Structure 1
Amino acid sequence: MNPIIVSRLRRDASFSGEHIRFAATVRELKNLSQGQGTALKLLAEGDQDDAALAAAVTTADGEAGLLRWHMLFRRLNTSGLIEHAVQVDGDVTARLYPVGRGSTLPVAAPAGPVRLSRFAEARVVDGTLTLRASGHHLAVELMPRATGLLGELATWNTGTPAPLLRLFATAGLLAPGGPDEDLETTERSYAQWHPADLAFHSRTRFPATVGGYGGTYPLGDRFPPEPVSPPPSGLRTVALPVPDLDEIAATEPSFTEILERRGSTRAHDDETPITLAQLGELLYRSLRRRGTMTGSDGQRLANRPYPSGGSVHELEVYPLVTACEGLPAGLWHYATDRHELELVAEPGKATDVLVRESRNAAMMETDPQVVLLVTARFGRVMWKYETVAYPLVLKHVGVLYQTLYLVATAMDLAVCGLGGGDAAAFATASGRDPLLEGTVGELVLGSRPRTEG
């Protein structure tokens, strides 16, 4: 076995004349020599080793043409236009390719023991096992005969062939340091990150390392956009009174006072619970649908009191009521377009789990009067957005939290946002498919205790 590194033009590129085209980009190559043109045609056809490329250049340009070719080949690598693979007995075992923007120039194989970084992740991409490191713009495909490397590289070892190590090191897949100085556990910049958290952060905050950043419509050619509001689905409905916003504005404290008073209250006045009118006012002022419009892409958009990227407004709120004057207990859904509540589930074991978990999360001594369960209809966002889709949902949860906090403070209600929740428990209680609509936030709400200022 004699592994060697071979190269080819990146998979989404083509060469013709003096131009390399890839994606929506055209790279012009001026004054190509005959040998350079021949070598580029070979790279466009498939994997070539350095000897074959050098022979093509020297045949046409002589030995003097090799330096110019090496300089051009390096520029193509630094522009991310070349893929590299390890070939054994004519068969490719691993391939390095770009998934973002940056150089594909292979680095030297590290000396001494090596192992996989704990930030490396393996997944199936287009039928091939693919390795990526968080925050890196390159990936390595592993063919079946090379998958045993993953087990070998799980611990520090010295037996991996150098050509494979070059590909892994170039893609950032190897741990820095060594068995006696493992930087991933001794350096704070590495140690403080859980691999899943760093992968999420890197994917969404380093656009040069990923594709599909922004509004790419990944599902646009397969599914229609979801409707702006979910269809009515409750067991029965309760109409909510519409508050007089002009009257409220004339008597309410100033915004500065509300902002300064805002805080989390983890106790409720059990003798005088929140009322239906108060719950309705909070929901109306915080997230009612004020209007709709059609975007240039054909998706129906909404206008609500809080901001939403692209005006998609994928968030829904399900009040889980244990004590509310004028409203029976149960799991309800707030219909933002009709300003009414729909009963989703009667009180029972499934809703009891949600109440208990919220009570524990808020560290309350008694059950919260209302739990506002915030869900996302994921398709509203993921139809348009790709890399930024889920972080956009979380941003929306944050602005909705603050909106609910400020309105509740203005109304002198007790509110407390929770740091986590159980999407599986909500799916059981509501019957909703958690991959289509699942909880992404929770707040407890109720009347403010008399001892609270």
Structure 2
Amino acid sequence: MLVGGSVSEEALVGQVERAGGFQAVVFLHVILAKLARRGALRYLVQGPVGTLATLEPLSPRFELSSQPLASVRRLRLSRFAHVRRDGEALVLESPRAHGRVVLGHAAALALLAGLAMPTTPDAAVERLAPHEVPAALTLLELLFRTGFVLAAESDGSTEEERRPALALWEFHDLLFHAGSRRRLYGRRVGGTYRLAGTVAPLPAVPPPSEPAIALPRPDLALLARSDPPLVEAMERRRSHREPGARGVTLAHLGELLFRCARVRQVRPGERDEESSRPHPSGGARYPLETYVVVGQCEGLEPGLYHHDAAGHRLEQRGGMTPTVRALLADAQVGSHPPRVLLILAARFARTSFKYESIAYALILKEAGVLLQSLSLAATAMGLAACVVGRGNPELFEHAAATEGVAESSVAEFAIHGCTPEGRPLAEPHSRP
């Protein structure tokens, strides 16, 4: 679309050719390509009932392929293409595309539906009314030249199935990767506080609850003298999936959580509270909460607990119910379930209140940092532990009575006991 209205490419080329000849037309195409890559140009597909669709470039890498639709026999919609609502519009997007298509008429959706299976261009539009076919074929050409629609082989496969680099990607993984990493026109990224004044921020620390059990606090000065060097801990770290030589105690839990997950300070932030903890967090948001599922732990009854990171206490959330038992069973990767399972849950609004486009990516990065901290601390303490590669958020939400979109599990860490070479606990351990 040009300033002041729209014009067909055919009409524009004709005007330029009459005014300046072939060289002027070549220059026109160069200019149009540059405008599109800068997001200053839109492509409208007009039909007898109005605008069928609008193609909006979103990236400097946007370009229309030079391969014409007529060069292929079979077509198929990309398996990464998806339709969603954006405000009052339906849009077709793909993590592989450098533009998006705003769908303006039901005929556009009907065209997409016909592309789920491999088909020919003529067959793709045969279900449309005759007066809709010319515009639909124009849209199909645009979809093909922008990568939303791909050439298909006789077996129905496209390059997305044949190329290993693409075949290995699942839809949700590539969508998340592109959605949290790419810089697109009109997209805000970072600390925008997009809902400030509309949504109230969560406190840095959830309010404490009772009943709770005070956890022992290790002497950090003593640990600084007795711990193995960082290099040694990193080299000794292993994933232990079988029962340890000895069991886990309340003192072990107290030390591990104090080392890695306690709140050191709550302070005023830019627009709400921030906190300081042993591991880093994007914008000091610290959305992660640690839940402790106890199967066997000396000094603790089996059940589900929440770590009060500010008070360094374990708040009781329930006994060994079938759901809590299922959480332990779900984390089993060896011959036995873990004696203790740490579940890292995120209060998502802590991060998304500030950050736009990257909030969930930041939460997962923080979970990885905390898992590494737990792994190294467990190694230094002689605990047999490992990161769990999967989790069950539905089980967690049921056990902890949380609303999944507000707070849910994002990572798990299993403790199976103590390694044979596990060191005695550093003394003294104090209680608050």
| Equivalent pair of 2:37/2:59 in contact (CA under 8 Å) | no
User: Counterpart of 1:197 in structure 2: which amino acid?
Assistant: D
Query: Structure 1 pair 78/330, CA: closer, same or farther in 2 (3 Å)?
Result: closer
- After the TM superposition, which residues 411-422 of structure 1 pair with which residues of structure 2 at under 5 Å, given as runs? 411-422=381-392
The yes-or-no answer on 1:289 pairing with 2:289 is no
1:173 aligns with one of 124, 148, 151:
148
How much has 1:369 moved relative to structure 2?
1.6
Partner of residue 315, structure 2: 342
Which deviations, in whole Å up to 9, do the C-alpha atoms of 1:357-412 show, x marking residues without a partner? 112xx2233x4221101101111111122222112111111111110011111111
How much has 1:269 moved relative to structure 2?
4.4
Taking the aligned partners of 2:13 and 2:376, their CA distance within structure 1 comes to: 69
Which deviations, in whole Å up to 9, do the C-alpha atoms of 1:240-273 show, x marking residues without a partner? 1221111112222222221111111123348x52
User: Counterpart of 1:258 in structure 2: which amino acid?
Assistant: A
| Equivalent pair of 2:39/2:58 in contact (CA under 8 Å) | no
Partner of residue 89, structure 2: 128
- After the TM superposition, which residues 51-450 of structure 1 pair with which residues of structure 2 at under 5 Å, given as runs? 63-64=19-20, 72-89=31-48, 91-103=50-62, 109-110=68-69, 111-112=71-72, 113-142=74-103, 143-156=105-118, 157-159=120-122, 160=125, 161-176=136-151, 178-179=153-154, 182-208=158-184, 211-233=187-209, 235-269=210-244, 272-296=246-270, 298-359=271-332, 362-365=333-336, 367-450=337-420
| Equivalent pair of 2:382/2:421 in contact (CA under 8 Å) | no
The size of the alignment, in residue pairs, is 403
How much has 1:173 moved relative to structure 2?
0.2
How much has 1:230 moved relative to structure 2?
1.2
How much has 1:101 moved relative to structure 2?
4.3
Query: Structure 1 pair 89/269, CA: closer, same or farther in 2 (3 Å)?
Result: closer
User: Counterpart of 1:293 in structure 2: which amino acid?
Assistant: R
Please give the secondary structure, in 2, of the residue aligned with 1:63: helix
Please give the secondary structure, in 1, of the residue aligned with 2:304: strand
Q: Which segments of 5 or more consecutive residues in structure 2 lack a partner in the other structure? A: 126-135, 424-432
| Equivalent pair of 2:382/2:422 in contact (CA under 8 Å) | no
How much has 1:108 moved relative to structure 2?
5.6
Larger deviation, residues 443-452 vs 182-191 = 443-452
Which deviations, in whole Å up to 9, do the C-alpha atoms of 1:67-112 show, x marking residues without a partner? 5766654542332211112111151111111344444668564222
Please give the secondary structure, in 2, of the residue aligned with 1:278: helix
Taking the aligned partners of 2:7 and 2:254, their CA distance within structure 1 comes to: 69
Which deviations, in whole Å up to 9, do the C-alpha atoms of 1:172-200 show, x marking residues without a partner? 20124543673222221221211222222
Query: Structure 1 pair 295/451, CA: closer, same or farther in 2 (3 Å)?
Result: closer
How much has 1:451 moved relative to structure 2?
7.9
Please give the secondary structure, in 1, of the residue aligned with 2:241: coil
User: Counterpart of 1:419 in structure 2: which amino acid?
Assistant: G
Query: Structure 1 pair 168/436, CA: closer, same or farther in 2 (3 Å)?
Result: same
User: Please, what TM-score do these two structures have when normalized by structure 2?
Assistant: 0.85
| Equivalent pair of 1:292/1:301 in contact (CA under 8 Å) | yes
Which deviations, in whole Å up to 9, do the C-alpha atoms of 1:22-79 show, x marking residues without a partner? xxxxxxxxxxxxxxxxxx32x3xxx433466679x78xx9834975766654542332
Larger deviation, residues 414-423 vs 245-254 = 245-254
Taking the aligned partners of 2:329 and 2:187, their CA distance within structure 1 comes to: 42
Taking the aligned partners of 2:79 and 2:409, their CA distance within structure 1 comes to: 30
User: Counterpart of 1:284 in structure 2: which amino acid?
Assistant: F
Taking the aligned partners of 2:349 and 2:421, their CA distance within structure 1 comes to: 44
User: Counterpart of 1:152 in structure 2: which amino acid?
Assistant: G
Taking the aligned partners of 1:268 and 1:278, their CA distance within structure 2 comes to: 16
How much has 1:283 moved relative to structure 2?
0.2
| Equivalent pair of 1:77/1:105 in contact (CA under 8 Å) | no
Taking the aligned partners of 2:111 and 2:379, their CA distance within structure 1 comes to: 58
Taking the aligned partners of 1:178 and 1:210, their CA distance within structure 2 comes to: 36
User: Counterpart of 2:247 in structure 1: which amino acid?
Assistant: P
Taking the aligned partners of 1:87 and 1:437, their CA distance within structure 2 comes to: 46
User: Counterpart of 1:150 in structure 2: which amino acid?
Assistant: L
Query: Structure 1 pair 192/237, CA: closer, same or farther in 2 (3 Å)?
Result: same
Partner of residue 3, structure 1: none
| Equivalent pair of 2:36/2:57 in contact (CA under 8 Å) | no
Please give the secondary structure, in 1, of the residue aligned with 2:75: coil
Query: Structure 1 pair 191/54, CA: closer, same or farther in 2 (3 Å)?
Result: closer
How much has 1:227 moved relative to structure 2?
0.9
User: Counterpart of 1:245 in structure 2: which amino acid?
Assistant: L
What is the Cα-based RMSD across aligned positions, in Å? 2.7
Taking the aligned partners of 1:105 and 1:405, their CA distance within structure 2 comes to: 49
| Equivalent pair of 2:293/2:304 in contact (CA under 8 Å) | yes
Larger deviation, residues 123-132 vs 389-398 = 123-132
Larger deviation, residues 408-417 vs 287-296 = 287-296
| Equivalent pair of 1:82/1:104 in contact (CA under 8 Å) | no
Query: Structure 1 pair 196/410, CA: closer, same or farther in 2 (3 Å)?
Result: same
How much has 1:301 moved relative to structure 2?
1.5
Please give the secondary structure, in 2, of the residue aligned with 1:274: coil
Query: Structure 1 pair 449/261, CA: closer, same or farther in 2 (3 Å)?
Result: closer
| Equivalent pair of 1:122/1:131 in contact (CA under 8 Å) | yes
User: Counterpart of 1:280 in structure 2: which amino acid?
Assistant: G
